[in-house]
Structure 1
Amino acid sequence: MDFSQLLVGGIANGCVYGLVALGFVLIYKATEAVNFAQGDMMMLGAFIALQAVNEDRWGLPFALGLALAVVLMGAISWAIEVAIIRRLFGQPQFAVVILTIALGFVLRFVAGVIWGHEPQTLQTPMAGRQFELGPVSVGYDEAFVILATAALTLLLYLFFARTKLGIAMQAASQNQLAAYYVGVPVKRVSSMIWALSGMLATVAGVLFAAKGSIDPSAGLLGIKAFAAAVIGGFGSLPGALLGGLLIGLVETFAARYGAAGYSQIAPYAIMLLVLVLRPNGLFAQFAQKKV
């Protein structure tokens, strides 16, 4: 396989990892907790989109089905924060970690009961279509993944840099108590961040399903996205995307040129190396707290 072809495939895979990693970072920045159900939220969002779009289900147009899935998953994530996560306020962060791991099992069980455990294909207008970019044949699905990730990255940047809500979210992530004293509705902001994280996970799930099939175990992809967030730095949104791209490229090239199993172990080997040499991640943006 040509180097350029591998490069495009690796970037497309890395974009999916990066979007899921963004969800990890958003919630961590807001609450200093790690949501290990992020990958399972991605999986559930993809199944909701499949339910909405596939002709043997609701048969909605792809764009409308995607929008509906994003809104529904945002509402589900918001409800999870309000009904479950918020009740652990003041508890050790370890309790939230255990809770989100258990939540992931529940989401996989629910998806299996509703849609079954066999791999299913999301029907998209990009399926099976390609175009030539110089010497490289690029699938419409790969181009969709890359362009959608670039657009979302730009929108997130503008949201956090230019809107009052985005600035309030940044303030709450830096210091919740100080943000509360200056009038920021911290609890509402936390719920919105969970909703935004669920929406991002849904888009990532649709992009993932557009390149192959989806089943309840696809939520375990969140482990690789977690590695991407660690590599990039849990305080850095750009770092999460770059960490995802790094893992996608390394995984793709390791699968092509390495021995059997190299592609599966490579992301975690990189994470271990980064933790040893630069514990805060390659692109960390937060400073250590003083006590």
Structure 2
Amino acid sequence: MDVLQLLLSGLANGCVYGLVALGFVLIYKATEAVNFAQGDFMMLGAFVMVGLVNPHFMGLNFWLAVPIALIIMGALGYLLDLTVLRFMFGQSQTAVVILTISLGFVIRFVAGVIWGHEPQNLHSPLALGDVRFGGVVLSLADIAVIVVTLLMTLALWQFFQRTKLGLAMQAASQNQMAAYYMGIPVKRVQGAVWALAGIVACVAGILYGSKGTLDISAGFIGIKAFAAAVIGGFGSLPGALMGGLIVGVIEPFAARYLPTGYSQIAPYAILIFVLVFRPHGLFAQVRVKKV
């Protein structure tokens, strides 16, 4: 029973990593850039919900605040692309990586100025109860995390496979110039994918905030989410989810059965192992780039 409890708890945490990893993959699939501020976007989305819901801020109804927060974060993602990232067009991926790392510092600073540096609690109805399965206890927030992550992964996979916008995003990542000559509005497509990544980060932030306290350092889980995306296969949406689940499950078992401190390095040990023996990731969708 202890093993089952650890497994389910790890799956819930892994789904949060998977959602943030989905943001990494979304950006990469559409632009071939890596957004190292994705974890901080998640943190910002959670604090936007705190500002909308908590009584000492705006005090809105939780379910009314959710779509407002999603719109705000989607708009921020689009404006980020419009005002900053488009000026990086044609620059190296290294320059974009440095830019997004710097952006993460800016987001943490702004969040600290607005909401302070003390831990905050999100007033969420998902945090108000537990469900028992025999001797195993799961919070409503954990169940919501698992269900929403599975549904979002499926929806995004269908979006990229079956919609014109999803196919246009993939075409733009393969060859931006060719996509432009084929009539695809490359800049607007990239703006849309940054908006979508902001929305996904906001969903992850809401679910993460429902599980416990929040502070501005919460965005550092983006490091684990990046490891999850690499383990699963960068560019694969199902791989991002599976990588997140692997990292999430490894942590509680390492904390339970290995000496103190090993749970923190266990995900990165798995990452090194995968990079050595399967560099493209466990569930990679290897493709040849057309030039």
Q: TM-score range by the shorter chain?
A: over 0.9
Deviations 1:47-69 (A, max 9, x none): 00111111222111112212111
Deviations 1:171-202 (A, max 9, x none): 22233222222211111000000000011011
Q: Mark the CA change 1:220 to 1:238 in structure 2 (over 3 Å): closer, same or farther.
A: same
Letter of the 2:48 partner, please give it.
I
Instruction: Tell me which residue corresponds to 1:246.
Output: 246
Q: C-alpha distance in 1, partners of 2:244/2:8?
A: 14
Instruction: Tell me which residue corresponds to 2:13.
Output: 13
Instruction: Tell me which residue corresponds to 2:152.
Output: 152
Is it true that 1:85 corresponds to 2:85 in the alignment? Answer: yes
Q: C-alpha distance in 2, partners of 1:78/1:50?
A: 22
Q: C-alpha distance in 1, partners of 2:67/2:258?
A: 39
Q: C-alpha distance in 2, partners of 1:178/1:290?
A: 10
Secondary structure, counterpart of 2:279 in structure 1: coil
Instruction: Tell me which residue corresponds to 2:175.
Output: 175
Instruction: Tell me which residue corresponds to 1:28.
Output: 28
Instruction: Tell me which residue corresponds to 1:139.
Output: 139
Answer with 246-255 or 281-290: which moved more. 281-290
Q: Mark the CA change 1:256 to 1:128 in structure 2 (over 3 Å): closer, same or farther.
A: farther
* 4+ aligned runs moved over 3 Å, structure 1: 288-291
Deviations 1:149-188 (A, max 9, x none): 1221222123223322222222222332222222111110
Answer with 60-69 or 132-141: which moved more. 132-141
Q: C-alpha distance in 2, partners of 1:284/1:151?
A: 21
* Root mean square deviation, CA, Å: 1.4
8 Å contact 2:232–2:284 — kept in the other structure?
yes
Instruction: Tell me which residue corresponds to 1:58.
Output: 58
Q: C-alpha distance in 2, partners of 1:54/1:151?
A: 27
Is it true that 1:224 corresponds to 2:224 in the alignment? Answer: yes
Shift of 1:290: 6.9
Shift of 1:137: 1.7
Please, what TM-score do these two structures have when normalized by structure 2? 0.96
Answer with 16-25 or 158-167: which moved more. 158-167
Instruction: Tell me which residue corresponds to 2:111.
Output: 111
Q: C-alpha distance in 2, partners of 1:154/1:280?
A: 22
Return 5+ residue gaps in structure 1 as ranges.
none
Please, what TM-score do these two structures have when normalized by structure 1? 0.96
Secondary structure, counterpart of 2:97 in structure 1: helix
Instruction: Tell me which residue corresponds to 1:45.
Output: 45
8 Å contact 2:175–2:290 — kept in the other structure?
no
Return 5+ residue gaps in structure 2 as ranges.
none
Secondary structure, counterpart of 1:193 in structure 2: helix
Shift of 1:136: 1.7
Shift of 1:135: 3.2
Deviations 1:224-272 (A, max 9, x none): 0000011111121111110000000001211121111111101111111
Instruction: Tell me which residue corresponds to 1:264.
Output: 264
Q: C-alpha distance in 2, partners of 1:208/1:66?
A: 14
Instruction: Tell me which residue corresponds to 1:98.
Output: 98
Q: C-alpha distance in 2, partners of 1:33/1:170?
A: 13
Instruction: Tell me which residue corresponds to 2:273.
Output: 273
Q: C-alpha distance in 1, partners of 2:158/2:289?
A: 27
Query: How many residues end up aligned between the 2 structures?
Result: 291
Identity between Structure 1 and Structure 2 (%) = 64
Is it true that 1:162 corresponds to 2:165 in the alignment? Answer: no
